[in-house]
Amino acid sequence: MQYQVIDVFSDKLYAGNPAGVCLLEKWLPDNILQLIAAENNLSETAFLVKQKGYYDLRWFTPTLEVDLCGHATIASAFVLFDEAESAADELKFKTMSGVMAVTRRDNLLYLDFPSRPVAPCPAYPCFEKALGFKPVSTYKAADFLALADSEDIIRGVKPDFGILKNIKAEAGLDDDNFGVIVTAKGVDCDFVSRFFAPNAGVDEDPVTGRAHCSLIPFWSGRLNKKIMFARQLSKRGGVIFCEDHGGRVKIGGNAVRYLKGTINI
């Protein structure tokens, strides 16, 4: 099986968020897909099967399948645009969260994803204990969102992941497919964020398209802006070009290939 690793939301290697991309002729059993993702040990591995006019796409962390992943979708599009779909300007993917598109524009790859606006939620005790700061306010959509007073707070967060996992019990959640976004207004950008998902086997995701499905409408409303520029302040770091289109969001970024090889099954 062809396998590639693409660094996404960066124009240079060893930055952004690496995603595995596996091109399949047909679907393998789910347990094999999960074993491959665990062996790759990246935050997400994307698996694709070509159909007529689109690609089936699924995303796996090292421990489970997730319903939405931005950087691994851009990574998949990067591989296809560079090879099998070099003449195309747009690609469509059928996923657990509906049909997604990726387009090439201004030397960037743009995701067209569903917007996931957040609603206020309780400030569960483990937020402050695990994150080391008291959020200004807390929210939830698919993931939790904790607002901080400053970029410096976001940059300095050192989570206690053991405590952070307790949000599942405190919030009465049924599964592990969620994360915790921390965010604040940016100094040299519109907003900054980080993303933690220890229950899904990813302590900190370097740069997270999925999180921006909520961050974009959240900050669009607060800043009264439809086009924004954001940074994710993980160790690897990444830059995200954001557009709010109401029920949809556009999430743009660069991508660069790190590895190309073969997986023996």
Residues annotated as catalytic (active site), given as ranges: 44
Q: At what angle do helices 70-82 and 209-223 cross, to 10 degrees?
A: 110
Place of tokens 């993931």: 143
CA dihedral 170, 162, 132, 140 (to 10 degrees): -40
Query: How far is 246 from 9, CA to CA, in rounded Å?
Result: 23
